[in-house]
Amino acid sequence: MQDAQAKYIGILWYIEWLSSMEAHMHGIEELIYDGRTKYQRVTIARTGSFGLVLFLDGYAQSSEEDEFIYHESLVHPAMLTHPHPRSVLVVGGGEGATIREVLKHESVQRVVMVDIDRELVELAKKYLHEWHRGSFDDPRVELVFMDGKEYIENTNEKFDVIILDLTDPIKDTPGVLLYTKEFYESVKKALTPEGVMVTQATSARYYLRAFSVINNTVSTVFPVARPYKVFVPAFYSEWGFVLGSLSRDPLAIPRAELEERLGKLNLRFLDLDHYYFLFKIPRYMEEKMRKYREISTMSHPLEISL
């Protein structure tokens, strides 16, 4: 036992607190960047288990090993639900992987990416090429550096798809306002008649209440709302998403259409079988989710306490 312990003496460890009672220790092989932008602490490190990892404020945001699982699951159900998406708005997504996935759809003519943290995007351009793969320089992409809530509330443009790749609604942070009924009503107004939105919706393991409340809230605004999840190894959790549609149900898309469109995207994770599996919420989880009936509003917003 002493020999085993001695093997790891001298290794730099990065401790990520997954909840107040659980943490994960990342063995760091190379610390590439560690500093603060105007808005958050950014750490980019090569880890022993997940390769290159982007940490924001102490939490793994995405890893080289499995970021494609998260980003393919976030982007493509919404893009496929719209019959012919041409214009897309991405709020957040500073690594560039979200727009990378959006641009795989041949119908896309314009992508607006709004992120409040210009410094983070510049760091991603420099260090996270495997995430963006040059997507920031695509002529269809417009980068806007400002508050995403403000942009959506004031834009006169209409989008076919809006993708909310946001930070969690942590208590005492501005992010809590991006999960409210009022905000989703602003998102709805910024969509075309067949428009679709999707939001990341926190961990379905650590924050099942939050996942449930986000689903409840989207359901009050959109005629079609579908919660779904995917297991992301670097997050040690099923990760939640909620899709809201003004027209088509993601589970009512003709199977032949899904198969054809998915086949053109050159994906690493999402295929036809996994598409349908995303929306299969386990019975035990459904039973727990039904216990949470509240919605998030500006006066009583959803907040996660760490």
Q: List domains and CATH numbers for the chain.
A: 2-63 (2.30.140.10), 67-289 (3.40.50.150)
115 annotated to a ligand binding site: yes
Name the residue among 142, 70, 140, 136 with its Cα closest to residue 112: 142
Is residue 7 pLDDT above 80, yes or no?
A: no
Taking a C-beta distance cutoff of 8 angstroms, is the pair 118, 197 a contact?
Answer: no
Q: How confident is the model at residue 21 (pLDDT cuts 50, 70, 90)?
A: confident
Percent of the chain residues topping a pLDDT of 70: 97
Catalytic, out of 66, 117, 160, 165? 165
Is residue 2 pLDDT above 50, yes or no?
A: no
Distances in Å between the Cα of 47 and the Cα atoms of 36, 53, 65 are 20, 7, 10
Is residue 6 pLDDT above 50, yes or no?
A: no
**DSSP of 38-85:** SS-EEEEEEETTTEEEEEETTEEEEETTTHHHHHHHHHHHHHHHSSS-
Q: What share of the chain is helix, strand, coil (3-state, %, to 5)?
A: 35, 30, 35
* Separation of alpha carbons 261 and 263, rounded Å: 5
109 annotated to a ligand binding site: no
Return the H-helix or E-strand segment holding 90.
strand 87-92
Mean pLDDT confidence for 132-157: 97
138 annotated to a ligand binding site: no
Is residue 4 pLDDT above 50, yes or no?
A: no
Q: Is 225 helix (H, G, I), strand (E, B) or coil?
A: strand
* Separation of alpha carbons 228 and 214, rounded Å: 12
What pLDDT does residue 35 have? 97
95 annotated to a ligand binding site: yes
147 annotated to a ligand binding site: yes
Q: What is the pTM of this model?
A: 0.95
Torsion angles phi and psi, residue 93, rounded to 5: 75, 40
Q: Is 283 helix (H, G, I), strand (E, B) or coil?
A: helix
Mean pLDDT, all residues of the chain = 95
CA angle 32, 38, 40 (to 5 degrees): 60
165 noted as active-site residue = yes
